[in-house]
Structure 1
């Protein structure tokens, strides 16, 4: 396979890993990177979704002990049973609404105006959430969440179907607005990403199976590995960062990126229609 193409796959994997778990929309960054690198054809779009699986393995490694405890305690621990149930409850709305409205959203909402608007609007939501966080916390740990809390976060995650919103941004900031601490919201966002992103990746590969060939394996392998490595570094960094910092810098970054979307669209440099 072409070395240049493999290098492009590595860049895309790094972009995916660095942006998937930050509240800045990995989809928006992958559209930009894919357009600049010439990887925005049909196979490239499948590639973007499939490499999310590499990023999610980073979360599994980081939280391995907690996930292992959850599996081991399923038969006898009410705490672990509630934890697993909450993740499944939070995952369910994305499945239902994604299957029902996914095609319509792709057809009508992947426009520069929508992407830029959601980037900028999301920034103001982050700023608002941070201002009220100090007085609104009622849940300090994921283990304190109820099924209703999980369902609410799962419903908020569905806003990420709108391009530019950010799945992590929707779940973390949405969780904070619903009364979760910054740490609890971030942890649950990561746990919720496991079934959500693996499911989306496998579903995308299944739908596009006719487009893929054995010769594409090296391309996907490079993307998966680089996404895993960069996501692992990013998740570890983010968990340290939130211990003493707010998400406010990401809000200003989103505003700047929203302006970049409008500029690149106006100049015809990037096709933001996916």
Structure 2
């Protein structure tokens, strides 16, 4: 009974950290790795029947979906409006053309005249670089970088990069709406998202930096990052769940449910507060936090305390 209570307490902590950090530019994956090392929520912890790798991978997936659900709820009207047939599906004239020409005209017509079509094409395009790099190398990345010291290094590097990019590009940014993003801008932002394959860099920070560089305001960059997370995380989560073939105990199922719910509730409040913050304040406060945390984790890591 005592062991089960400790396990549930840990799932609550994990859910809180996921909800707090998933959409902030501080790296949720990095925080989860650090927290897992501190509270021993990782493979090999006792009892091993609770902390096996298959379950821990599934747990991370499920609580990420909780955070994603918060974005779906908060931006429900926007998502639904982009999916309306009148905003999504391009009309085509009947004429004699080759298949390639028809497809080209379909996309061109849709991109120019249908805001929903343009929006989701941009999101899909921005996902491609991370999929091309992350999918074949995910195992090697996890083997090398998914530890506290590499995470700490990424937190520090990302902090410096964030301060530099904000001072150089933020004031020049003019695009205030995600609907005004172009294909070229989507590709560049997607390439910057690849930096987040190094845990500690942060997907949110990487995409916002990319958004600054191509001319988006901080709020537009953050919102594009939110929408970009929906297909990325659902795709990654679906793949992980398909691969997972473990039998869960009742306490593990309860842990999944609690982690999911806590991450969802916390993310709801964090995202609203984050957007309000970005409208008034610079992002360097997050850079300072990252720098401080990175140094602390490095010290603890070299002291072999985590």
Q: Is this a same-fold pair by TM over 0.5? A: yes
Secondary structure in 1 aligned to 2:88? coil
Task: Decide whether aligned partners of structure 1 residues 208 and 264 sit closer, same or farther in structure 2, where only a CA change above 3 A counts.
Answer: farther
Alpha carbons of structure 1 residues 266 and 118: separation in structure 2 relative to 1, 3 Å? same
Say which is worse superposed, 201-210 or 159-168, in terms of deviation.
201-210
Which residue number in structure 1 is paired with residue 167 of structure 2?
A: 131
User: Distance in 1 between the 2:149 and 2:37 partners?
Assistant: 17
2:139 match: 103
TM-score, with structure 1 as normaliser: 0.92
Q: Whole-Å Cα distance in 2 between the matches of residues 46 and 265 of structure 1?
A: 26
**Relative contact order higher in (CA < 8 Å, ≥ 6 apart):** 1
Question: Equivalent residues in 2 for 1:84-233 (5 A)?
Answer: 84-210=120-246, 212-213=248-249, 215-233=251-269
Q: In the alignment, does 2:41 pair up with 1:35?
A: no
Runs of 4+ in 1 over 6 A off after TM superposition: none
SS at match of 1:51: helix
Question: Displacement, 1:8?
Answer: 1.5
Query: Root-mean-square deviation (CA), in Å?
Result: 1.7
What's the counterpart of residue 293 of structure 2? 257
Change (3 A) 1:32 1:112: closer
For the residue of structure 2 that corresponds to 1:269, the secondary structure is coil
Give runs of aligned pairs for residues 65-76 of structure 1, distance below 5 A.
Answer: 65-72=77-84, 73-75=87-89
Q: Distance in 1 between matches of 2:248 and 2:128?
A: 29
Identify the range of structure 1 (2-11 vs 255-264) with the bigger mean alpha-carbon deviation: 2-11
> What is the Cα deviation at residue 11 of structure 1?
1.2
Residue equivalent to 2:12: 10
Query: Structure 1 unaligned runs (5+)?
Result: none
How far did 1:147 drift?
1.2
Task: Give the number of the structure whose alpha-carbon radius of gyration is greater.
Answer: 2
Q: Does 1:60 align with 2:75?
A: no
Answer yes or no: is the 8 Å Cα contact 1:138–1:181 preserved in 2: yes
The answer as to whether partners of 2:175 and 2:220 remain within 8 angstroms in 1 is yes
For residues 62 and 261 of structure 1, the distance between their equivalents in structure 2, rounded to whole angstroms, comes to 33
**Greater displacement, 131-140 / 2-11:** 131-140
1:86, 1:147 within 8 Å by CA — same for their partners in 2? yes
Larger CA deviation: 131-140 vs 63-72: 131-140
Q: Deviations over 1:55-97 (max 9, x none)?
A: 0000011110000000112125611110011111111222221
Rounded to whole Å, the distance in 2 between the matches of 1:215 and 1:10 is: 13
What is the aligned partner in structure 1 of residue 25 from structure 2?
23
Matched-pair contact (CA < 8 Å) for 1:51–1:201: no
Q: CA deviation at 1:109?
A: 2.5
177-186 or 35-44: bigger deviation? 35-44
Alignment partner of 1:234 is 2:263: no
Aligned to 1:9, what secondary structure does the other structure show? helix
Aligned residues: 270
> Any stretches of 5+ residues in structure 2 without a counterpart?
44-52, 91-112
Q: In 2, are the aligned partners of 1:34 and 1:44 still within 8 Å (CA)? A: no
C-alpha distance in 2, partners of 1:124/1:49? 29
Rounded Cα–Cα distance in structure 1 between residues aligned with 2:178 and 2:8? 39
